[in-house]
Every structure is written in C-alpha cells, then in structure tokens.
Structure 1
Amino acid sequence: MKLRNLLLSLAAVCIAQASFANGFQVLLQGTKQTGRGNVGVGYGPDASSLFFNPGALSFLESSAIQVGFSPVFSNISYRGIESAEKNSSTSPMGTPFHAYGVYRPSAESPWAFGLGVYTPFGSTVTYDPDWVGKFALQEIALQSIFIQPTASYRIGDKVSVGAGVSIVTGSVQFKKVLSAPAGDITFEMDSQAETKVGFNVGVFAELSEKFSLGASYRAGVDMEVKNGEATFDMPSNAVREILFPEAKWGGNYTDNGYKTDFNAKLPLPSNIGIGVGYNATEKLSFALDFNYVTWSVYEELKIEFPQGDYLNDDGQAEIKYARKWQDSYIINFGVEHRTTEALTIRAGAYYDTTPVQDGYLTPESPDANALGLTIGASYMIGDHFGVDAAFLYVNKEQRQNEVPDGVDTGAMDGIYKATAYIPTVSLNYTF
C-alpha cells in the first residue's frame, strides 16, 4: 500500500467546502429567492439581498430582520459499472441557516446598513460502514459560517450600489477505512479552517415600474487548513511501525495507532451574477438570473506535512491531487404572483452545470448537471410580520465515472446519482 495514496484521502475532504456540501450547489440564503428558482440578483430586494446583491439593500422601504433555516434531505446512490448492487448514503438531515439585519436610518435616507450570518456549505454525508466504497468514504461532516457586514447607497431614484466584507471560517470531520495486509485501518480527520476574508459587491437599478436590473460579484477566497489532525487506528503496533516509522514521520504514537498533522490550501471560486426583473402586471412578475462560477481556479489539491521528512514517490515534500475543474454557470428563472395584499405565491426553476470533468467524481461530491424545481409563498401577518416558505427539489443527472489512466484523483469507477429535497422557512420583521 502506498502511503502517498493513503494520505491523499485525508486532504480530499477539505475540497468539500468548495464542493458546496456533498455535491449539491444550492443557494439557500433566502426563502423568497428559493421559492422563485433562486432568483435574487436583479429582482425583489429584501433583507437577503445582503447575500444575493448588496446593491439592492437601499431599495428596502424600512429596516428589517430575517431569520430562516433549510432542512436538507439528500441521497447519493452508487453502483459499480459492472454491478447491479446499489449503495445509498444514509445521511442525516442538514440544517443550513441564514440571519440578516438591515438598518435604514429613515425612508428618505440613501443609506442602508446590514449584517448577515449564513451557512452556505454545511451538510453531512454518511454511508453504511461496510459499503463497497468504505475505502473512499464512510462519513463526512461539514460546517462553514459566513459573517458579512454590508453597506448600500442609493444614487438618486433609480440606482443603488453596495458592498460587503465576508468573514469566512469552517470545519470538517471525515472517516474512512484504509486497507492494510494485516487488517483494515480506521482513518479519521478533524480540522478547523483558518479564518479568511472576502467581499461581495453589487449594483441594482429600477429602470421603470416594469423593469429592474442587477449585477453582483462575490470574490473567491483561498481556504486553508493548518495543523489539521489526522488519526489512524491500527490493527496492531507492528503495522503502525511499518507504515509510520518515527525516523520519517513526526506526530505521535497513540495507544492503538498514530496521530499526525497536515496543511492544505483550497481556492474557492468567484461568482459573477446578472439579473433582470419584469413586472408584467401589478400582480404578476417574472425574473431571470445568470451566474458564472470560476471553478477553473481549482486545478489541484495540494497538501503538506509539516512534521517528519516523508517524501512521496517523486521525492517531493508536498502531495498534489489532480482536480482540473472547469468554470460553470447557473440559469435561474422565477415567477411571482401577488395574490392578495397578504399573500404572494411563487415558483421557479434553475439549471446548474457541473464543474467536475469526467473521471474526477468522488463519493463526497459526485457532482453532475442539476435541475432545480421550486415553489414558495409569503404571508404577511399585520403590517410588520411575515412568514416565507418554499420547497426545492434538486435532481442531478446520473453520471458514470471512469478514472483516467495515469491520473491521481482519489476517485473510484462507478455510476452515481444524487437528489435532494429541501423545505425552507423564514420569519421577517420590518420596522
């Protein structure tokens, strides 16, 4: 067994923060937006515009508070190319949340200030401990938190601009089995990402009573893990001494295994969004967004070993893991109907292209082109309090993966299929 391949697995999970939570790139930062196909760049400003387009905040009529959460019920199925046996994930419910506060000094003020806290990349994937892919993945649990202070300024009656600073942190836990001649090894990883800073800018325009336009840019962030902890539970001390001789590895022997540290860096992509809204009548509106995601920054995953003098087969102190992702795009469409003064209903759809090339799928992120279908509604209770609800169904295309010859990806051959069912609800208060 090559230690190089064994240790690549511990770093592979760090990419999951960039893979948008076990292969599902779903934007759950606003319930209204979810209900209309995740449209939020060029139409319908509310408190969650802090994420979708900070330039739209100063078009809010009053100060606002919004809190919401989105239970994620996801399933990933796998079977071998030559096998009829199907294996499915047994993942628990994920619970990403969002919370926003927006302050308007007065209705006449051109300024709006906001603070948002949201978890765009938080979820969990688990498989049966003895499933056929246990040597690739058993469990992975992810959490990321974004904190974003934001300001928006309205220029005249038609145009506003805005900018926010994103403070980003996250964590990951991972478990799998490693094969060894004298018995299987249980490998677990626990790491906390370094706090990083990004930014989000946007512009929004109400051109007329009929048309609105918007554009936004979320900058990429280079996430880093420093001194992540990896532990190996060995079948015997003899196996431990063969695989991890102290002369070549730092770290520490434990009662039944070995513990060491690692560093890894991962570039998260930028997102460029443009959107348009059209009010067909006083009650009926349509909206369209286009988002371009620069996943091509993710050429490889690189890990380093700060302890010991281990060298891989090429005599390098660092290990590189091929990814070769490509830029992707998302097309979002939504429709909204203001049925009564209190009730608004909406629906939408989006098409999300995958950045993952053939041969590079992995069990924690078996990505594929996805179709999302959504419905939603809002109901006002009095003049200040409102409830939003929506439901999102994500259907990813079935995809066959065959690892290219001579390319080190950590992936395995097979056929993958992924789906998700996501209800979401938020509470709103304006003042």
Structure 2
Amino acid sequence: MVGEHAWSTRRGAWPRGIMASVLLITAMLAAGAESGWGAGFALTQQGTAAMAQGNAFVAEANDPSAIFYNPAGLTQINKFAFYSGTVFNYPSRWYEGDRGYESQTHHRYYHTSQVFLSVPLQERVALGLGFFTPFGLGTAWPPEWAGRYITFWSKLKTYDLNPVVAVKLLDNLSIGGGVCFLWSDVRLKRKIPVIIKGYQFPDAESDLQGKGNGIGGNFGILYEPVKGVKLGAAYRSHIYVEHQGNLVISRLPRFLPFPRNSEGSAGLTYPATVQFGVSVNRFAPFTFNLDATWTQWSSYDKLAVNLDRPMFISGRFTNVVVNEKNWVDAWAFRLGMNYKLNENMTLRAGYAYDMTPVPRSSFEPQLPDGNRHIFAIGGDLKIWKLNLSWAYNYILFEGRAKNNYFATNGVPLPPALQANGKYDADTHSLGLSTTFYW
C-alpha cells in the first residue's frame, strides 16, 4: 500500500489504533444522519473526492462512492474498500418583505452521512453496497414570521440502500448497476389564520407527516477510448413513494366543531437523473473532470394529500389537500481538477453551476431555491491503509423575488399573508471521510 514505509517497524499498533478511532467516529456520525441541503431537495454530496470537485466525478469514479456516481467505476478498485463519511451543511436563508420586514431561518447545521463497501470478486467483477441519503430538506423559519401561513418548519429525510455489481467487459469498458431501496420520512408544519366574524383568534397549526418506501435502480458505464481519457455516463431511476401518515390541526378554538386530525396518504415521485462526464489524466500530475447532470424534476408537479376523513381546509370540508408545484427539469454543469502533490497527498478544486427547477409561479419559502454557484476545494492524505479526505463547498444562491400567490386547493392566501419579497441564501458545507483499503 502506498505510504506504508513511513510507519517503520511500529506500524502494527499505531496505525491500527488510528484506523479504529477514525472508523468509529465516522460510523457514529453515519448513525445519526439528518437531512441536508441540495439541488432542489436532491443531495449530490455523496463522496468527498467528488464534493471537492463540485461533484464532477462520473468519469473518474475511482473510490467506493462510485456506487452513487457511477457503479461501473468499481472495477477500478482492486482491493477491499470501506468508505465512511459525513457532510455537515450550514444553510442560511434571508427574507426581505416588500414593506421592509426582514426575517431569516434559525441558525443550525444539518448533516448527511454515507457508507460504501466495495469488494472485488475477481479480476473483472466487483460487488458494492451503499447506504446514503439521496434527498433531504430542512427549513426552520421563526414560528411568527410573515410567511408562517405557507411554512415555518419542514423536514425531509431519505435513506437509500443500494447494492450493485460491476463487470469489466473489455480492458477499457466497464458497466455496473444495482437496485435502490429507498425509505422516506416527511414532516411539514405551517400556521393557519383563524378569523371569525372579523375577530382574529391565535393562529392554529397544521402538522402533516408521513413515511413510506419505494424501489428503483441505477446503471453506469465507463469507457476509456484512449489511455488517460475516460468517458462516463450514469442513470438513476425515479422512485415513487406512497407516504402513509396523518394531518393534525392543533390550537383551534374549542368551540369550533371541526375535526382535528385524520390519517391519510400522499404520493411523491423522487426524480430520475442522467449524468455524462469526461475525465482527462494525460497531463500528470493533473486530472481534469467535466460533468453535466440532468434531473427530471418535472415529476414533482404537485403535493396532494388524500385524507381518510373530511377536514375543514380553505373554507370547506374536503378529503383532498393540494398544493401545486409544477417544477421543471433542470441541468447542472460541473468542472473539477485533481493535483497529485506526491504519492500520499492530493489536492482538489472545482466549480458547479446548478440550475433551479422551481418556476416563478410556485417559488415559495419552504424551499426558496435559486440557481447555485458552487465553489469547491479539498484534499486527500494517505496513511497506512487509510485514505483521509476532506472537502469544503461554498454554495451561493442567486437571489429571487417571490411575487405569486400560494394556494391550497386553488384558494390563495390573502395578499398580506403571501410573504412576497426578496429571498437570498447561501450554504457552507464540510465533508470528512475515511476509506480503509486492504
């Protein structure tokens, strides 16, 4: 293994102690994974080597995180490899109303974690297993802010178990694919104005939550037409999840004869993605990566909840609660670079431009999404059988103005409750990982 000579004759106890400590820490972090911040609500930061290059990795794909980016890349790993990593996200969102009112989300961090395992069976076949969070959302506005009747708290958590197999068909051509088992947990809160005969009562509160699961798949191909130039493509299918849960309306005046809760269901289609990339390693010690990613966000056309019992929503009793979304398909373009300082150290940098799928007509503070500029740096350090990696992203969102009408079941909120105005956001992301090879 590269770098073994640096430990001399005492390597037996010391590096194994380091390995045990680092793997234990990252495993503990993985066990507590939460939702994070991503494109739309997709999370593409699934490996630190990729993250440090703006996620331009589909044609490089040379570590166990290839299970997510391009499973065909596993044929490049000729040893048992175990990857454990965590990404810490610290998002900030600001709102300035049309009349000068200002607010911002609560300061807190979210984290997502990943575990990948790669096992070469023979020279041309490799197996892999990944566990990660492909989608997530966390938003926490002050409960009394101007947009509380649209949202003040939301959380989406997903977990994906992804076994894959990769086969080297030719010396310069590999394919890989697998099955995705997805678990999803959603919870959305907002306030409800209570006005009776001109008198305004304290706000009621809507709490919608549900859980479900679904199955999809992924496939990738890696081709090296000439030495030092690799072409990669990968596909992850859409996954439909039928969430089962309940809607609870609390803090209503006691004298109102309205149902306070109902069980129900809501379907959500997580989008398909297609990635294309080229990796050039003909100018040592540099490697250059260029990727393009298409995401089928048009699958998120509305959020519709079917209730088991009628509830009083938007001025009438109904079994259905619908909020139109009408998202559109979107592209992201990524550029990354590696610089190998020596046998044990690599530096990385990258940039990505990620286009928002949210149209002006349905832009809202639950996810005040805009086009993103992602600036990335990172590096690797090899010690004994370990590869220690870090990555940092600064994500700058282009500011957007909300000037539309949020509606439930086609009934818009009054203009004074729409929280129209300007929204800005940025995110700081730090990724840490350990990969153990033997």
Asked if TM exceeds 0.5, the reply is: yes
Give 1:309 shift: 8.3
- Post-superposition CA distance 1:52-73 (Å, at most 9, x none): 0011111212121000001110
Contact 1:91–1:127, Cα closer than 8 Å, also in 2: no
Which 10-residue stretch deviates more, 411-420 or 50-59?
Answer: 411-420
- Post-superposition CA distance 1:29-77 (Å, at most 9, x none): 1000000110111114210000000111112121210000011100111
Structure having the larger proportion of residues in strand? 2
Give 1:317 shift: 4.6
Alignment-mate amino acid for residue 326 of structure 1: V
Give the match for residue 240 of structure 2: 222
**Whole-Å Cα distance in 1 between the matches of residues 191 and 311 of structure 2?**
25
Give 1:128 shift: 1.7
**Whole-Å Cα distance in 1 between the matches of residues 94 and 74 of structure 2?**
41
Does 1:31 pair with 2:59? no
Give 1:412 shift: 4.4
Counterpart among 287, 294, 297 of residue 295 in structure 1: 297
Cα–Cα, structure 1 residues 315 and 18, in superposed 2: closer, same or farther, change >3 Å?
Answer: farther
**Whole-Å Cα distance in 2 between the matches of residues 270 and 20 of structure 1?**
18
**Whole-Å Cα distance in 1 between the matches of residues 411 and 116 of structure 2?**
42
Give the match for residue 231 of structure 2: 213
Contact 1:322–1:409, Cα closer than 8 Å, also in 2: no
Give the match for residue 251 of structure 1: none
Give the match for residue 151 of structure 1: 165
Give the match for residue 401 of structure 1: 402
- What is the TM-score of this pair, normalised by structure 1? 0.85
**Whole-Å Cα distance in 2 between the matches of residues 309 and 119 of structure 1?**
34
Counterpart among 146, 151, 161 of residue 137 in structure 1: 151
Give 1:85 shift: 2.6
Contact 2:93–2:426, Cα closer than 8 Å, also in 1: yes
Alignment-mate amino acid for residue 426 of structure 1: S
Contact 1:91–1:124, Cα closer than 8 Å, also in 2: no
Q: What secondary structure is seen at the aligned counterpart in 1 of 2:78?
A: coil
The gaps in structure 1 that reach 5 residues or longer are 1-16, 245-257
Give 1:300 shift: 2.3
The gaps in structure 2 that reach 5 residues or longer are 1-33
Give the match for residue 23 of structure 2: none
Which 10-residue stretch deviates more, 190-199 or 391-400?
Answer: 190-199
Cα–Cα, structure 1 residues 105 and 278, in superposed 2: closer, same or farther, change >3 Å?
Answer: same
Does 1:42 pair with 2:28? no
Give the match for residue 95 of structure 1: 111
Coordinate RMSD, CA, aligned = 2.5
- Post-superposition CA distance 1:92-116 (Å, at most 9, x none): 210100000111124xx21110110
Contact 2:380–2:388, Cα closer than 8 Å, also in 1: yes
Give 1:282 shift: 2.3
Give 1:339 shift: 0.6
Where do residues 209-288 of structure 1 align in structure 2 (5 Å cutoff)? 209-226=227-244, 228-239=245-256, 241=257, 243-244=258-259, 258-288=260-290
Cα–Cα, structure 1 residues 371 and 280, in superposed 2: closer, same or farther, change >3 Å?
Answer: same
**Whole-Å Cα distance in 1 between the matches of residues 360 and 136 of structure 2?**
25
Alignment-mate amino acid for residue 202 of structure 1: G
Identity in percent: 23
**Whole-Å Cα distance in 2 between the matches of residues 287 and 233 of structure 1?**
52
**Whole-Å Cα distance in 2 between the matches of residues 171 and 95 of structure 1?**
16
Aligned residues: 395
Counterpart among 191, 198, 214 of residue 196 in structure 1: 214
**Whole-Å Cα distance in 2 between the matches of residues 409 and 274 of structure 1?**
41
Contact 1:175–1:186, Cα closer than 8 Å, also in 2: no
Give the match for residue 420 of structure 1: 427
Cα–Cα, structure 1 residues 235 and 193, in superposed 2: closer, same or farther, change >3 Å?
Answer: closer
- Post-superposition CA distance 1:364-413 (Å, at most 9, x none): 2111111100001000002x211010001111100011116996677642
**Whole-Å Cα distance in 2 between the matches of residues 333 and 46 of structure 1?**
18
Alignment-mate amino acid for residue 151 of structure 2: L
Alignment-mate amino acid for residue 49 of structure 1: A
Q: What secondary structure is seen at the aligned counterpart in 2 of 1:90?
A: coil
